[in-house]
Structure 1
Amino acid sequence: MRLFQNYGLYPSYLPRLNQLAMSTQSFAERRDVFLNDRFGASHFLQPVLDGSPEAFFTNGDDAVLQRRWAREQGMSGEPTLEAILLAQIEHHATEVFYNLDPVRYPSAFVAKLPGCVKTALCWRAAPSGNADFTAYAAVLGNFPSILDMWRDKGCRAESFFPAHDPVMDEYGHGERPIDVVFVGGYSRHHRARARTLEQVARLAGGRNIVLCLDASRLTRLAESAIGRLLPLRQHRRPEAVAKIAQPPVFGRDLYDLLGSAKIVLNGAIDMSGSDRGNMRCFEAMGCGALLVSDAGRYPGGMDSETIVTYAGGSDCLAQIETSLNNWTEIKAKAERGRAAVRDLYSKQQQWALFRSLVSRL
């Protein structure tokens, strides 16, 4: 199978990538720096991470990366990122195109794929407005309710999962000086999460609490000197949160942080309903921390034997305190969680499921 996997970068990750790849000159060098940093690696299929000659990977929205490839291949003029991506697919003689950035490259893009492509699939685990993915053979995701939403929009939708990144095994085997860590977004989509974070932040007086927040542009504006003169108070973070908030962390720095924490706090975004199992769950458990997350429907292996769930803000505080006060016992639960993610969601199993899906489309 000649596999092409396309990913998309978070804008807040790009400065880190540019710094890590500062000394690189070629397309392959910059791409390898990205892959080695493991940002998003739970989604990358085994042949990509193994460096298989039949697999091609790129970040289709990384202008620096893509234009390096265009120059190296002798593309004339200033081709668009879409034109470069199509040229890469044709040059690779791709048979299966797997796109993790379908909002940028929806059905209109699929219609332009070269004839060598036999199957095009995409991953999308969130609502996406009026985006059209019907030209894809299937939309993949791990939230049942959102899969049903895609089916209602005329798409074929199939269950698929992030996987345990084997590199996670390198982290989290020493002391865990951080009591609770949270890493994630903070925006209008995170109302329930924000309420919980405010309560947890108040524990910082007696506990080592680390909040690494990727604040939205509106939140950053609201907290700026100019923004404080505007009617944006509802978009500012509570004082308890803002006081201890740190910048977001990514890649191997994220693994190192999760491996230094006893507890990783997780909170679903409001749009996911009662479905649970976002990528942070896999990363936290894979790095050996105890996942403390909001109650809901979790995938297999994430249950009372391996994680702790809470019903609301006050219950979250109670679960955190109980877990920290009984850490010797609770540590065994975290270790069971690590084993469960490694055993149930390995890269080998993810790749086998992907191949099975392709064979049925």
Structure 2
Amino acid sequence: MRIFQNSGLYPAYRRQFDQRHGTRHSFAERRELYLKERFGALHFLLPIIDRDTSGFFTNGDDEVLQRAWATENGMPTNASMSDILLAQIEEHRTEVFYNLDPMRYGSDFIRRLPGSVRHSLAWRAAPSPGADFSAYSRVLNNFPSILESYRKAGWSVEYFAPAHDPVMDKYAGRADRPIDILFVGGYTRHHQKRALILEAIAKLSDRFNVRYHLERSRMTRLAESPLGIWPSLNKYRRPAAIRRVSAAPVFGLDLYEALSRTKIVLNGAIDMSGNDRGNMRCFEAMGCGALLFSDRGNYPDGMRENQNMLLYDDVDDAEIRIKEALDNTENIVRLAKNGRNMVEEVYGKKRQWQRFEEIVSTIKTASR
């Protein structure tokens, strides 16, 4: 199977990447830097992880990366990003196109794919009003309720989960974990439930080492700048307790390093996810040997309360339970070890690839 995997980048990560590495690289050099930094690696399929010649990987929203390829392959300087991606797919002789960025490259793009492509699959794990994924052979994620909403829209769907990144093994065994409570994620006014939890736990910083790595929304950044004196921006500003424990966002290997220094990783679903759980942070926390402390809901197979994770019901319950947990370090170590073992066994890269092959095998060639 000749597999082409297209991904996308968070703007904050892209800025960090360019500050660290610059922009003067060949396509192969810049792509290899991305792969080594492990941003999104839980979604990388096994041929990409192994650098198998049958696989091709790119970040189709990185204009520096894509134009490097276009220049090296003699494309016009005014070629569109879509045309560059299509040319890469054609040159690779792709048979299966797997897209992690379908909001950017939707059905209109899929209908333009070269004839070598037999099947197209997309990962999308969020409600997507107004989107059109009808041309994809399958739409994948690990949230049953979102899959059902896609099915009702007339799209073909399958359950598919992230997988443990083997590079995490270098971080998971760390015994010295000076950070008591860590949260890594986004902060906007749309995450109301999460914001309440974050504020309550941040207030425990007088007793515990609490650290938040927050990716702020544009309006939050503006509200916390000198221009934030305008009253209309007050609702976007983070509470003082959160600002005191906050640092810059972390991604890829920097995220793994932060998780490896942490006892308990605080997690909370965003308001639009319903009762389904299983966001990336669950797999990342467990894979890096930290204890996952998350909100109650329906979790993926293997993630079990009081066996390899702890759950909370609401703000008050979270505060009580996390203090109780930190008073019993031996139990934290035990549960975290169970979590690490489970995610390696149940969500390994080989199993993920086998599941992907299984999904592809059930698609009729005539579906595209």
TM range (shorter): over 0.9
The letter for the 2-side match of 1:347 is K
Q: Give the corresponding residue for 1:275.
A: 276
Q: Give the corresponding residue for 2:131.
A: 131
TM-aligned CA distance change 1:15 to 1:116, over 3 Å: same
**What count of residue pairs does the alignment treat as equivalent?**
361
1:226 is paired with a residue whose SS is helix
Q: Give the corresponding residue for 1:92.
A: 92
Preserved CA contact (<8 Å) 2:263 2:332:
no
Preserved CA contact (<8 Å) 1:164 1:342:
yes
Q: Name the CA distance, whole Å, in 2 between partners of 1:281 and 1:289.
A: 10
| Matching residue within 317, 320, 345 for 2:319 | 317
Q: Give the corresponding residue for 1:330.
A: 332
Q: Name the CA distance, whole Å, in 2 between partners of 1:301 and 1:75.
A: 48
Q: CA deviation at 1:329?
A: 2.2
Preserved CA contact (<8 Å) 2:2 2:93:
yes
Q: CA deviation at 1:153?
A: 1.0
Preserved CA contact (<8 Å) 1:301 1:340:
yes
2:215 is paired with a residue whose SS is strand
Q: CA deviation at 1:331?
A: 1.1
Farther-moved stretch of structure 1 (128-137 vs 215-224): 215-224
Q: Name the CA distance, whole Å, in 1 between partners of 2:77 and 2:175.
A: 53
1:105 is paired with a residue whose SS is coil
Q: How does 1:1-361 map to 2 (within 5 A)?
A: 1-22=1-22, 25-172=25-172, 173-304=174-305, 305-361=307-363
Q: Name the CA distance, whole Å, in 2 between partners of 1:329 and 1:158.
A: 36
Q: Name the CA distance, whole Å, in 2 between partners of 1:197 and 1:171.
A: 25
Q: CA deviation at 1:23?
A: 7.3
Q: CA deviation at 1:15?
A: 1.7
Preserved CA contact (<8 Å) 1:2 1:55:
yes
Q: CA deviation at 1:21?
A: 2.9
Gaps of 5+ in 1: none
Preserved CA contact (<8 Å) 1:102 1:123:
yes
Q: Name the CA distance, whole Å, in 1 between partners of 2:342 and 2:60.
A: 33
Farther-moved stretch of structure 1 (167-176 vs 207-216): 167-176
Q: Output the aligned Cα RMSD.
A: 1.0
Superimposed CA distance per residue, residues 334-353 of structure 1 (whole angstroms, 9 cap, x where no aligned partner): 10000000000000000000
Q: CA deviation at 1:217?
A: 0.6
Q: Name the CA distance, whole Å, in 2 between partners of 1:250 and 1:230.
A: 33
The letter for the 1-side match of 2:78 is E
Preserved CA contact (<8 Å) 2:60 2:66:
yes
Q: Name the CA distance, whole Å, in 2 between partners of 1:324 and 1:102.
A: 41
Q: Name the CA distance, whole Å, in 2 between partners of 1:2 and 1:338.
A: 32
The letter for the 2-side match of 1:276 is R
The letter for the 2-side match of 1:42 is L
TM-score normalised over the length of structure 1: 0.98
Q: Name the CA distance, whole Å, in 2 between partners of 1:77 and 1:20.
A: 26
Superimposed CA distance per residue, residues 118-149 of structure 1 (whole angstroms, 9 cap, x where no aligned partner): 00000000012201001000100000000001
Q: Name the CA distance, whole Å, in 2 between partners of 1:253 and 1:119.
A: 35
The letter for the 2-side match of 1:171 is Y
Percent of aligned positions that are identical: 54
The letter for the 2-side match of 1:184 is G
Superimposed CA distance per residue, residues 255-295 of structure 1 (whole angstroms, 9 cap, x where no aligned partner): 01001000000001110001000000000000000000000
The letter for the 2-side match of 1:360 is T
2:250 is paired with a residue whose SS is coil
Superimposed CA distance per residue, residues 179-234 of structure 1 (whole angstroms, 9 cap, x where no aligned partner): 00000000133110000000000011111000110011111122222132141211
The letter for the 2-side match of 1:293 is S
2:275 is paired with a residue whose SS is coil
Superimposed CA distance per residue, residues 136-170 of structure 1 (whole angstroms, 9 cap, x where no aligned partner): 00100000000001111110111000000000000
Q: Name the CA distance, whole Å, in 2 between partners of 1:25 and 1:206.
A: 47
Preserved CA contact (<8 Å) 1:189 1:271:
no
2:232 is paired with a residue whose SS is coil
Q: Give the corresponding residue for 2:366.
A: none
Q: CA deviation at 1:79?
A: 0.6
Preserved CA contact (<8 Å) 1:20 1:33:
no
Farther-moved stretch of structure 1 (211-220 vs 343-352): 211-220
Q: CA deviation at 1:24?
A: 5.1
Superimposed CA distance per residue, residues 42-71 of structure 1 (whole angstroms, 9 cap, x where no aligned partner): 000000010000000000000000000000
Gaps of 5+ in 2: 364-368
